[in-house]
Amino acid sequence: MDLAEIFRVMRRRWYVLLPGLLLTAGLIVGVTRVVPVTYQSQSTVVLLNSQKATRAYDGNPFLSTQTSLTGMADSLARNLNSDDSLRELKSRGARGTFQAKLADNAQGPLVWLTVTGTDRDSVLASDKILTAYAEERLDQFQKQQSVTPKAMIRMTTIVPPQNPVAQTRTRLEYMVMAGALGLVLTLVAAFYVEARKRSSHTPGPEAGPARPEEGTTAPVRPAREPAVEETPAVRQPPSWSRPAVDGPGAAETDAPRPAMAVASAAEPLDEESTHGHRPRTGQRDR
C-alpha cells in the first residue's frame, strides 16, 4: 500500500478519522490539565577556608584552597538531601522538591541548591530557605566537633536564588506521547473499517460481480477473443461395416483402404487422398 492509497482510504473513511482527531485533541488538552507546568530556581554556594588558614594570604579566602573543602562540600550536599533535612525544610515553610549536589565541572567546592515546584513564588521563597539552611548545617557540623570559630570553614553565596524558570520539557513529552497515541488509534480504526467494508463486498462462489466502492472506478476488463471453431474430423466407417458390392469391382471395394487424413472444412478432400490410389483407366474397361 502506497501513500496515494492511504490518502484515498482516509478520504473515504473521514467519518472515522474526524472523531478520532477530535478525541486526540481532547486527550492533549487533558494532558495539559493533568500535568502542570513546573518551575525551578537554583542558587550556587561555595565553601571557603577559615580565617586562620588565610592569614598567609592576608585574609583572602579565595587565594587559599584545599582538597578537604571539596570533600566537605560533598558531605554537606548529602546531608541536605536526607529525610531529616527535608522535614526541617518543610517545617520552615519550604515547598517543592529539593536537591543539593556538587556543581558540574567545578574546580572547587561549589554546591548547587535547586528547588522545583508548581508555584512560581513558592519556589523562589523555598530556594532562599534552602540556601540559609545549608549555611546553618555547615556551622552545626563544626560545632559538634568543637571547632573554634577562627578555624571554622565558611560559606558564601556565589549565585543567589534565581527567578524560577518554567520547565516545559516533561510536559511537552507527555503531550507528544498523547498525540501520537491518539493518531495511531485513529488510523487503525479507519483502516479496520475499510477492511471490514471490503470483506463485506467481496463476492462469494455463487455471487455475482461485486459493485465498485463509492469514489472508485470499476476496473476495465480486456475483451475476450472470439473462440475459433474447430472443424470436426471426418472419419470413414471401417470396411467391415460398409455394405458389400456385387460385381466385378467388389474385390477392389472390399479391400482394406488406408486411413484418411483429417482435413479442414475449408480444404476439400481430393479423390487421390480419399481412395489412396489413382483410378485405373483403360484396362478395367477392356
Greatest extent of the chain over all pairs of C-alpha atoms, in Å: 168
Arithmetic mean of pLDDT, 24-53: 90
Residue with cell 566537633: 145
Distance from first CA to last CA of the chain, Å, rounded? Answer: 90
pLDDT of residue 171: 84
Confidence band, pLDDT 50/70/90 cuts, at residue 222: low
The rounded distance, in Å, linking the Cα atoms of 223 and 220 is 9
Per-residue CA distances from 16 to 8, 22, 186 (Å): 13, 10, 7
What is the CATH T-level fold of the domain 38-167, as seen in this structure? Alpha-Beta Plaits (3.30.70)
pLDDT(274) > 60: no
CA nearest to 156, candidates 65, 43, 249: 43
**pLDDT score of 213:** 55
| Mean pLDDT, rounded, for 175-187 | 90
The C-alpha torsion from 130 through 84 and 170 to 114, rounded to 10°, is: 20
Of the pLDDT bands very low, low, confident and very high (cuts 50, 70, 90), residue 259 is very low
The alpha carbons of the chain give a radius of gyration, in whole angstroms, of: 52
What average pLDDT score do residues 114-134 get?
Answer: 94
- Average pLDDT on 173-186 reads 90
Q: Average per-residue pLDDT in the chain?
A: 78
Please give the average per-residue pLDDT across 113-135, as a whole number.
Answer: 94
* Residue 248: its H or E element: none
Q: Which residues pair with 115 in a beta bridge?
A: 41, 98
Helices and strands counted in the chain (H then E): 8, 5
The residue ranges of every structural domain in the chain are 8-33+169-200, 38-167
What distance lies between CA 24 and its chain's CA centroid?
16
Average pLDDT of span 228-255:
54
135 falls in which pLDDT band (50, 70, 90)? Answer: very high
With cut-offs at 50, 70 and 90, classify the pLDDT of residue 133.
very high
pLDDT confidence of 244, banded at 50, 70, 90?
low
Average pLDDT over residues 27-41: 88
Q: What DSSP string runs through 156-214?
A: EEEEPPPPPEEE-HHHHHHHHHHHHHHHHHHHHHHHHHHHHHHHHHS--SSS-PPPPPT
pLDDT at 33: 85
- Angle (CA) 112 115 119, round 5°: 155
